[in-house]
Structure 1
Amino acid sequence: MKKKIYFAGGCFWGTQAYFSLLRGVVNTQCGYSNGTAKNPTYEDVCRGNTGHAETVMIEYDDSMIKLDKLLTEFFKTINPTTKNRQGNDIGSQYRSGIYYVDDADINTIQEFIENKQREYSRPIVTEVLPLLCYYPAEEYHQNYLDKNPGGYCHVDLNLIQKDDKIRN
């Protein structure tokens, strides 16, 4: 069964590139979520007054990869104890977040975070909220690192285990 989850992990270029490599992920898309502006542009979001986070929609085949595994991979790519910052990117649009569309996922997410908190001395500040709104980002942001292999990325794409990759 195909399912969706939305991850905000700083700059969406690296998050999209990372999850597009995972076996069982069937589609990814960069966008803006959980803000107040309708149909924001990248420039709108960068001004910091829309409330949107740079977010990646992840569509996955639940028979091939489970939400727990996606969460494990997501936490490899973020610092969940920093607010409004990932890597060199600073601002509320770069906050970390998990935005769900299936209410059945909330228990898995909360349990995962409770267990993960044991690994950190500082509190996890990653948002966990229902997806309130989502707008696809402009085309030039989609699969940006495939189009621009030398582009900036705070995510280490080599963290994916070889067996989990769809391409090496």
Structure 2
Amino acid sequence: MGKNNLKTAVFAGGCFWCTEAVFQRLEGVHQVVSGYTGGTIKNPAYREITSGRTGHAEAIKIEYDTDIISYNELLEIFFATHDPTTLNRQGADRGTQYRSAIFYIDDDQKERSQIMITNLNTEGVFNDPIVTEVAALGAFYNAEDYHQNYYNQNSNQGYCQFVINPKLSKLQATYKSKLKKEIQN
């Protein structure tokens, strides 16, 4: 993997434990960092995020190799592994910190995101219109260490079993060819 091929994508799709676990499993994804973005408070802590008053979303920053996986493929998997039609909510998690959002880094990502949303809405992929926010990436703050690599370190925890495992099963069934080789089996 050459450094010239590494790009960054930032998505928010509910709890970052879920999105982190999904994207860590994709071939071509070099690193996934859980964090906070889209709000107004500098250096927020998790306890502030959970209040919903910071404006930040729980998000992930993905470093990926464009020779192996494209931004459009990341977008497709992002939309397939969360509900982009519910405003400020994913399952039982409610609040602006759980909103569906794409934080673009450049005009190309912005345009690709908007085209993907238009196409999914036109094709009627979801029963309701997509409410995913598309916004320029501002400051991204890494979440506390105990949030990093959460599923991989806590897969027996109840939340992981009941919320994340079904997402990973769907990923395995739908995108098996996109998974890292050690996960495909």
**TM-score, with length taken from structure 1:** 0.95
The worse-fitting range, judged by mean Cα deviation, of 156-165 and 123-132 is: 156-165
The worse-fitting range, judged by mean Cα deviation, of 115-124 and 38-47 is: 115-124
Question: Is 1:149–2:138 an aligned residue pair?
Answer: no
**In structure 1, the residue corresponding to 2:101 is in which secondary structure?**
strand
Question: Is 1:7–2:11 an aligned residue pair?
Answer: yes
Residue type of the alignment partner of 2:68: M
Unpaired segments of 5 or more residues in structure 1? none
Equivalent of 1:163, from 144, 165, 177?
A: 177
Residue type of the alignment partner of 1:93: Q
Higher helix share: 2
**CA–CA distance in 2 between the matches of 1:75 and 1:133?**
23
Equivalent of 2:46, from 42, 48, 54?
A: 42
Q: 1:15-54 maps to which residues of 2 (within 5 A)?
A: 15-54=19-58
**In structure 2, the residue corresponding to 1:128 is in which secondary structure?**
strand
Identity across aligned pairs (percent)?
46
**CA–CA distance in 2 between the matches of 1:147 and 1:82?**
29
Alignment match, 2:67:
63
Q: 1:99-118 maps to which residues of 2 (within 5 A)?
A: 99-118=103-122
Alignment match, 1:123:
129
The worse-fitting range, judged by mean Cα deviation, of 134-143 and 145-154 is: 145-154
**In structure 2, the residue corresponding to 1:40 is in which secondary structure?**
coil
**CA–CA distance in 1 between the matches of 2:56 and 2:135?**
13
**CA–CA distance in 2 between the matches of 1:102 and 1:2?**
14
**CA–CA distance in 1 between the matches of 2:148 and 2:142?**
9
**In structure 2, the residue corresponding to 1:58 is in which secondary structure?**
strand
Superposed displacement of residue 121, structure 1:
4.0
Asked whether the 8 Å contact 1:4–1:100 carries over to 2, the reply is no
**TM-score, with length taken from structure 2:** 0.87
| Matched length | 168
Deviations 1:45-97 (A, max 9, x none): 01111000000001111111011110110011111110000121111100010
Which structure has more relative contact order (CA 8 Å, sep 6+)? It is 1
Unpaired segments of 5 or more residues in structure 2? none
User: RMSD of the alignment, in Å?
Assistant: 1.1
**CA–CA distance in 1 between the matches of 2:127 and 2:46?**
34
